[in-house]
Amino acid sequence: MLEVALRHDFADFTLDARFEAPAGITILFGRSGSGKSTVVNIAAGLLRPDAGKITSGGRVLLDTRNGVCLPPHRRRLGYIFQEGRLFPHLTVRQNLRYGAWFAPRGAAREESGRVVELLGIGHLLDRRPGALSGGEKQRVAIGRALLSAPQLILADEPLAALDEARKSGILPYFERLRDEVSVPILYVSHSASEVARLATSVVALEAGRIVRQGSAAEVLSDPSVLPAGAREAGAVLTARVLRHHADGLTELAAGGVPLFLPRLAQAPGSEMRLRVAAHDVILSRDRPEGLSALNILPGTIAELRPGDGPGAIVALDTPAGRLLARITRRSAAALGLAQGGSAHAVIKAVSIAPADIGAGPRAGETRDLIPE
């Protein structure tokens, strides 16, 4: 467990944040300039705040009141940067050994064979970084960080330098990291997709303050908190793969409701997280007939929140979970939508982007803490 309480003033900006990060991935989520990197820089020991306390697995890294501020190399941190920052003259194997070399003697650390397997880099061990793709470099960098026996991993926008294809290639490895490694990972992102797929817990920042904290489902489905803006709004559903159909569709069950998506690779029984973008949800007051869309979910309007412009966000509680829909205020008025009223959400099977579909665990639950 990581416990953080910080206060710091820059000339035009005040950071005032208090949160806890359990094992798994805690995403610091917010727009540019909200203070995410400042939190990470303080946790890393690169910036000494005006006031604050940070403990990691019970160890005090920072306590300004008692004059404690451990230097970065004594904090037992693993870093994952935007670019891998591997040593170009060393092979992958040697880069990984370099990480292990930093582990304190006797420290419990991941076994290198397991890390190599976890990250799927066994076939790359004899190559030098120049012969790796961006995504492969990043996987090696994650391995190097894990092998240094860190008590905390800091990942500052680790996917930002990768194109969409590489991003979706590496997301499953972060999912495995979340589910199989017991070290807390503090992960900076301004991408709702990354939050939906990866977060064990989310700390949403706005102008240096925490505006919401909770599971990915809780934070992303709250229309009063849209750290990435209304355009990026979208809720997260948890669903289980039921069966693959011969016509190329996969049927999932979400809270007892069937959902159809283009064929997924996961086997029946797999737990999935799906981010359904608010702009991909159409609302209808009555159950629509004669419509091509396969997914029609009845629900109750929990909230109708007008935006600054012509749009509004509607939060609809369905048996599958809460959905957000972005519609115009004009449509909301024409349909007579109001809090407490009923409506149907219509989602096209093909509208959910592959980058928004990931493996469990359940998005609405913070998983059990693993003792460190």
Out of 75, 190, 197, 212, point to the residue binding ligand ATP (CB under 6 A). 190
Out of 26, 34, 191, 238, point to the residue binding ligand ATP (CB under 6 A). 34
Token pair listed for 187: 């992960």
Does residue 229 interact with ligand ATP by CB under 6 A? no
Going residue by residue from 278 to 317, which x/- string records binding to ligand ATP, judged by CB under 6 A?
----------------------------------------
Out of 38, 91, 200, 221, point to the residue binding ligand ATP (CB under 6 A). 38
Among 8-16, 192-200, 231-239, 274-282, which window interacts with ligand ATP (CB under 6 A)? 8-16
Does residue 32 interact with ligand ATP by CB under 6 A? yes
What does the alpha-carbon distance between residue 186 and residue 191 come to, in Å, rounded to a whole number?
Answer: 15
Among 10-18, 59-67, 86-94, 363-371, which window interacts with ligand ATP (CB under 6 A)? 10-18
Does residue 35 interact with ligand ATP by CB under 6 A? yes
Cβ nearer to ligand ATP, comparing 34 with 148: 34
CA dihedral 208, 212, 215, 221 (to 10 degrees): -120
Q: Would strands 51-56 and 59-63 be described as parallel, antiparallel, or unpaired?
A: antiparallel
Going residue by residue from 39 to 68, which x/- string records binding to ligand ATP, judged by CB under 6 A?
------------------------------
| Cβ contact 35:194 at 8 Å | no
Q: Provide the H-helix boundaries in the chain.
A: 36-44, 92-101, 112-119, 134-147, 164-180, 192-198, 216-220, 329-335
What does the alpha-carbon distance between residue 368 and residue 344 come to, in Å, rounded to a whole number?
Answer: 35
Q: Which amino acid is at 254?
A: A
Cβ nearer to ligand ATP, comparing 23 with 205: 205
**Angle formed at CA 35 by CA 33 and CA 39, multiple of 5 degrees:** 150
Whole-angstrom CA distances from 309 to 302, 314, 326 are 21, 15, 12
Q: In the complex, which residues of this chain contact ligand ATP (CB under 6 A)? A: 10-11, 13, 30, 32-38, 190
